[in-house]
Chain A
Amino acid sequence: MVAKTKDMWVFVETNEDGSAKNVGLELLTTGRALADKQGGKLVGIVIGHNVDAAVKSSVAYGADTVISVDGKEYEHYTTDAYAKAFYELVEKYGPTSILIGATNTGRDLGPRLSCRLQTGLTADCTSLAIDEDSGNVAWTRPAFGGNLMATILCPDHRPQIGTVRPGVFKKGVPDEARTAEIIKEDIHVAPEEIRTELLEVIKEAAGELVDLEGAEIIVSGGRGVGGPDGFKPIKELAAALGATVGASRAAVDAGWISHAHQVGQTGKTVGPKIYIACGISGAIQHIAGMSSSKTIIAINKDETAPIFNVADYGVVGDLFEILPILTAEIKKLKA
């Protein structure tokens, strides 16, 4: 496909209440400067049902134009409906590049869309730049479990598409006074074109919902916590900080805590403001899942643990003694 514009699109994924997911707003923030360098507009793409809130947020976070597709059939994500709507938009408007959040939905939609468009897709990017030689987006991403970084170009096909994990980029400050062009596209998908059916939603109980990707602070435990009871001081510190509890694969595989808490290559990729790794040695697979955290605090008995290579604060000592003191001090501070 030939690009008709120099525009950069951002897929602004919506929650079920029609509001924008953070990752879309993070990508609008990052895409703002890239769109300027590319010499085109920044366009927010909103697909869903009753999505006025997401359209408004897209404007506030920097979109020049927002194109929305609204319909009952988009209330819950389906591959067939979203891929069709998104494909029709691309056909009509011809953007140069598209950014998609690497959520479960984005990673389901992205390859389906790029394949239909016969173009390139680069998954889970951790940094984006405009290649000065060609004007292409230079997509940089980890591979081999985080052991290697690769910069990928899609030089001869348009649009060039990439996904980015939630939390990798920070969202900016919304400007509620901004205005933008709002386009409503009327695209509908017949029920028989949607070949999957949502039969049941199994929500985690409120107390057990583990939102690692949206967390501002995460306190994680690894092999060093020694057993399920070892998570007690971790949970107490997390409660004092208003943090989410994470875990390394070793702790999950040992059955000490559920897979929903797992951070790393076979778990969640996270990017909180503060990540506290307790008794985690720092296998490369774990580091791949948390190294974009703003501040990393590692507490480990073993001074040579690789986790200290990525830590801003490398704390050598016994977590069972250190965590309770830290928790008590934080409670005092907040009291």
Chain B
Amino acid sequence: MNMLVCIKQVPDTTEIRIDPVKNTLIRDGVPSIVNPFDAYALEAAARIKDKDPSSQIVLVSMGPDQAKNALKECLAVGGDKAYLVCDRAVAGSDTLATSYILSCAIKKLEETEGKFDIIFCGKQAIDGDTAQVGPEIAEHLGYPQVTYALEVFAEDDKIKVKKEAEEGNEVIGIKAPCVITVTKPAFDPRYPSIKSKMAANRKEIGMICADDLPEMNRERIGLKGSPTKVKKTFTPPVKSGGVKIHEDSNDATAKKLFDSLVADGII
């Protein structure tokens, strides 16, 4: 299997705080991490490679130079090669423009890495939470897709995907080439070893800039090529008017809660 895994470096949203005075997002000092869903996608690819060691796992990311760190981390847990699409021209892209740029980069990579059987993405990135880039890459490339994958089994060009559905799970059959987006599975991704970390550090990360993608239509990338525009951002309003119930004993607290809920017509 020749597999590509799309990786996004994201701010660790559990570490983000709001400036209480300016009411803005404090981004300084927030650590950058590999998007957790992308790590699950890489693990799904690595498990296929465990069974078929002739497989290749290529990583691609788009972002600033520091996104190399995320790619290095991924090289230490299963990735064989890594590429970073890094260019000012792509800054400000929304999901449609981002997926278009990545689809152009994927076609370019296939010239040297061979055709990819499976393109893996995380279900969504934890900063934007849109879950759009994966299916949009599939559409740009004209490939079939499975979203919300929990486990992926591959044999020749036949692929089986166990996916999360509304009422339980489903097993879907799909043929290569295809796009699969991965949600949180029942297992944790593997950890790097000291040896794999050192090997990853020695690997070169291939840089791709906009000029390397002559087929890419410059009108469809960056802010200009993005149909959605952010009009404003604001911090969510804090709910006011809540009542505190804290009596001398838990017993009295419980009774007061019950009485309040009945009096207010909640239950």
Binding site for B on A (CB under 8 A): 79-80, 103-105, 107-108, 110-112, 114-116, 118-124, 131, 138, 142-157, 195-204, 209, 211, 213, 241, 259, 265-266, 274, 283-285, 291, 295-297, 303, 308-318, 321-323, 325-326, 329-330, 333
Residue in contact with B238 in the complex, picked from A211, A297, A309, A326, CB distance below 8 Å = A309
Q: Does B11 contact A144, Cβ atoms closer than 8 Å?
A: yes
* Chain B residue contacts of A204, Cβ below 8 A: 167-168
Q: Does B132 contact A274, Cβ atoms closer than 8 Å?
A: no
**Nearest-CB distance from B126 to chain A (Å)?**
6
* Chain A residue contacts of B162, Cβ below 8 A: 202
Interface size class of B (residues with CB under 8 A): 35 or more
**Nearest-CB distance from B68 to chain A (Å)?**
23
* Chain A residue contacts of B255, Cβ below 8 A: 325, 329
**Nearest-CB distance from A250 to chain B (Å)?**
11
Apart from A114-B96, A115-B139, A322-B250, what are 16 other A-B pairs with CB-CB below 8 Å? A120-B94, A123-B129, A123-B130, A147-B235, A149-B236, A153-B231, A201-B171, A204-B168, A259-B186, A310-B239, A313-B260, A317-B247, A322-B254, A325-B251, A325-B254, A326-B254
Residue in contact with A150 in the complex, picked from B11, B16, B233, CB distance below 8 Å = B233
* Chain B residue contacts of A108, Cβ below 8 A: 135, 145, 147-148
Quick one: which of B17-36 are within 8 Å of A by CB?
18, 25, 36
**Nearest-CB distance from B65 to chain A (Å)?**
22
* Chain A residue contacts of B43, Cβ below 8 A: none
13 example contacts (A-B, Cβ-Cβ < 8 A) are as follows A105-B166, A112-B135, A112-B145, A115-B135, A147-B25, A147-B236, A198-B171, A201-B170, A202-B169, A285-B13, A295-B266, A310-B239, A313-B261
Tell me, in angstroms, the Cα distance from A322 to B81 when the chains sit together: 56
Which 5 residue pairs across A and B have the least CB separation, nearest first? A145-B13, A120-B227, A195-B144, A325-B254, A321-B250
Tell me if B127 counts as interface (CB < 8 A to partner A).
yes
Tell me, in angstroms, the Cα distance from A301 to B164 when the chains sit together: 35
Tell me if B246 counts as interface (CB < 8 A to partner A).
yes
Assess A150 versus B96: contact at CB under 8 Å? Given A121-B132, A144-B25, A144-B127. Answer: no
Tell me, in angstroms, the Cα distance from A325 to B250 when the chains sit together: 9
Tell me, in angstroms, the Cα distance from A213 to B164 when the chains sit together: 14
Quick one: which of B159-211 are within 8 Å of A by CB?
160, 162, 164-175, 178, 184, 186
Q: Does A333 contact B246, Cβ atoms closer than 8 Å?
A: no
Q: Does B227 contact A241, Cβ atoms closer than 8 Å?
A: no
**Nearest-CB distance from B128 to chain A (Å)?**
6
